[in-house]
Amino acid sequence: MICVSISDVSYKLAAEYARKYPFVEFRMETLPISAEEAATLFSIANKSIATCRPLPGQEERRKLLLKTGLKHGADFVDIEVDSEDKMPTEMRESLRKSGAKLIISYHNFKETPEGSMLREIYEKASEHDADIVKIACAVHTHEDNLRLLSLCVRYPSLLVIGMGPNGRLTRLLGPFLGSPFTFACPDEQPAVAPGQLPYSRMKQLQTQIQDIFHGEV
C-alpha cells in the first residue's frame, strides 16, 4: 500500500489529490487551510492520515487541525514520539471516539542509529499504545538499510523509512517485509521527504518487485 503525502500546496490542489489517490497523508503544518477546509479534505479522502508537525507558536492550530481530522474521517493520526506524552486529554478522547489508529513516529535526519538504539526507540513508542510505530532515519550506507529492514522482520506493525537517495531501498522493500505501507509524493509535486519517489514510479517498481517474488519475470 502506498500513501501519498500532500504538503505545501493550495487547498484546491490538496482536494484534487485527495480525490485522485486512494490513500493520502495531509501534512497540515504546511497546508494553508482552515479547520473547515481540513474537515472537507478528510471527508473527501478515501483513506487518510492526519499529520501536523509541531511549529513554534502553532500548537493551538495543530491541536485543532488534528482533532478536525479525527472528527471527519481520518483513519490514522501521526504523533511524534517525543511529544506523545504531551498529547492533551481531549486529543486522546478524540482518538478513542474516532476509531482511528495511532501512529507514533520517530525521525532522525542525520543518521541511522545502531540496532540496539533502534530497538529502544521501538520499545519506547510501543509503550504509548501505538497501533503502528514509524521509524524514519537518514540512510548513508547499505548497512543502514539492512538495520532498518531487519526491524520489519523482528517487529509487527513497524513502518520503516530510509530518508535520502540511499534509503529508497527501504521505501520499496519495507511493505514486502512487513511494513503496513510506504510513502510517495504526488506525481506532479517534489518529494515531501528526502528520497521520496512519485506515486506512479513507486507503484511501477513495487509491481515489478511483486512479479519477481511470484516468478513472473
Which candidate in 47, 107, 128, 203 is catalytic?
A: 107
Could you give phi then psi for residue 46, rounded to 5 degrees?
-70, -45
Ramachandran assignment for 129, one of left (phi > 0), alpha (psi -120 to 50 degrees), beta (any other): left
Would residue 142 show up in a list of annotated catalytic residues for this protein? no
Scored b (16 or more CB within 10 A) or e, 46-55 reads: ebbbbbbbee
The neighbour count for residue 90, using CB atoms within 10 Å, is 10
Alpha-carbon gap, residue 155 to 157, rounded angstroms: 7
Q: Locate 52 and state its grid cell.
A: 501536523
How many helices (H) does the chain have, and how many strands (E)? 8, 8
Task: List active site positions.
Answer: 107, 134
